Amino acid sequence: MLELRLVQGSLLKKVLESIKDLVNDANFDCSATGFSLQAMDSSHVALVALLLRAEGFEHYRCDRNISMGMNLNNMSKMLKCAGNDDIITIKADDGSDTVTFMFESPTQDKISDFEMKLMDIDSEHLGIPDAEYHAIVRMPSVEFARICKDLSSIGDTVVISVTKEGVKFSTRGDIGSANIVCRQNTTVDKPEEATVIEMNEPVSLTFALRYMNSFTKATPLSNTVTISLSSDLPVVVEYKIAEMGYVRFYLAPKIEEDEDETKPQA
């Protein structure tokens, strides 16, 4: 028996909006500690990891560990039927091949329940080791989203370079090239507007903007985003979910020639 009651239902709606374009089907893993998901994107390039801790739910009952395979598109369709201030409850009976989403309007005047078929999905659950990163950048999530969107109108890849002074996002395409430098800045009025750089070692890595732009769909989940970089490790783009957990996106860097190298424009 599974029953998870989430007062701020809009959180779950936003989580699904942020990952459904990247992942078609995935197993939601439910244990006593929380509700989580880990899945590769459909082209097996990026990885999504979601955690919603049990403490973040108003009521959390999970009698035994269970893995529920869902089509994220269908799940998203159902969640779209919940109001933004509805309370959402996820329910599943032991051994059942369906899951039920219940939506309660704030006034309790409207109660909906949507039942969805589960599916069998084989997933390799990768252990993601905690790594030491060369550099961790925290910045306003809207600013990161804007930068990724802007650069993708010029080129296909972004080079992210971190020094103590700031983080530089660069791209190059047919019509020209672009560099955007964000200085470290901790002296703003609100902490969520700060750009903070923790750096052990300078680092410069190249990524496909297409995936970065997918990741920024999670912007509504958090005011800030954390970008963790190490040479030859996948970058981690993390959106914290207040009081509950996170959505993290992992993407391997492109192995490329030195960006300063002069090469013919093939």
Contacting residues toward DNA, per CB under 7 A? 10, 20-21, 73, 77, 83-85, 142, 149, 213, 220
CB of 255 to its own copies, least distance (A): 26
Nearest to 207 by CA among 175, 153, 159, 250: 159
Tokens standing for residue 226: 């954390």
Please give the single-letter amino acid code of residue 10. Answer: S
Tokens standing for residue 153: 């109108």
Please give the single-letter amino acid code of residue 79. Answer: L
Question: How far is CA 90 from each of CA 76, 199, 261, rounded to the nearest angstrom?
Answer: 13, 41, 53
**Contacts (CB under 8 A) with its own copies, residues 57-86:** 71, 74, 77-78, 80-81
116 binds its own copies, rule: CB under 8 A: yes
Nearer to DNA, 27 or 216 (CB): 216
Nearer to DNA, 20 or 240 (CB): 20
Rounded Cα distance, 53 and 63, in Å: 15
Residue 44: left if φ>0, alpha if ψ -120 to 50, beta else—which one?
A: left
117 binds its own copies, rule: CB under 8 A: yes
3-state secondary structure of 130: coil
Tokens standing for residue 265: 């424009």
186 binds its own copies, rule: CB under 8 A: no
CB of 117 to DNA, least distance (A): 17
CB of 65 to DNA, least distance (A): 30
Tokens 């963790």 sit on residue: 228
Residue 31 binds which of DNA, its own copies, none (CB < 5-8 A, kind-dependent) = none
Nearer to its own copies, 98 or 231 (CB): 98
Q: Pick from 195, 204, 214, 230: which binds its own copies (CB under 8 A)?
A: 195
Residues at the interface with its own copies (CB under 8 A): 71, 74, 77-78, 80-81, 98, 107-117, 143, 150-151, 153-154, 175-183, 185, 188, 195
